[in-house]
Amino acid sequence: MADPEKLFMVNIVTPDGLIFSHHSSIVEMRAIDGQRSVMYNHLPILTPLAIGEIKVKRSREMNNVVNHIAVSGGYFEFSNNVATIIADSAERAGNIDVSRAKAARERAQNALKKAQAEHDQKSLERAQVALRRAVNRISVYNSDK
């Protein structure tokens, strides 16, 4: 008989509420200091997240499906085999409106050009963050295809 699969709970919460809650065998994310992966019985951890993709690999029973979720920063906490991600915003790949994300990318690129031309540092930084968020959403949408 095969060894039982070791799973833990993954919850993703935004100000709008719980957007993801499933069992997982591994979670991959981009922390502000680099890429991280967490599996069952990992030591407790609390780390800030960068704008990026969360990959949640589900159980063998679920055919090892990988859920792709775009997050725009937040925190990842793991303790007692429960992973909690608290994010400003998070979208599952299947829920991303790619045309809206592409429009946001275009707006951010235009704002970036304008801020560079005007030497406006604060507007430049805001445009760079908006661009990273839009590109991340498009990338996560495409990774699920």
Confidence of residue 2 (pLDDT cuts 50, 70, 90): very low
Confidence of residue 61 (pLDDT cuts 50, 70, 90): confident
Please check the confidence at residue 120 and state whether its pLDDT lies above 60: yes
Q: One-letter amino acid identity for 103?
A: A
Please check the confidence at residue 145 and state whether its pLDDT lies above 70: no
Nearest CA-CA partner of 39 in 66, 7, 4 = 7
Query: Whole-model pTM above 0.85?
Result: yes
Tell me, which fold does domain 8-93 have in CATH? ATP Synthase; domain 1 (2.60.15)
Calpha distance 141→144 (Å, rounded) = 6
pLDDT digits (tens, 9 = 90+) for 68-90: 999 999 999 999 999 999 999 99
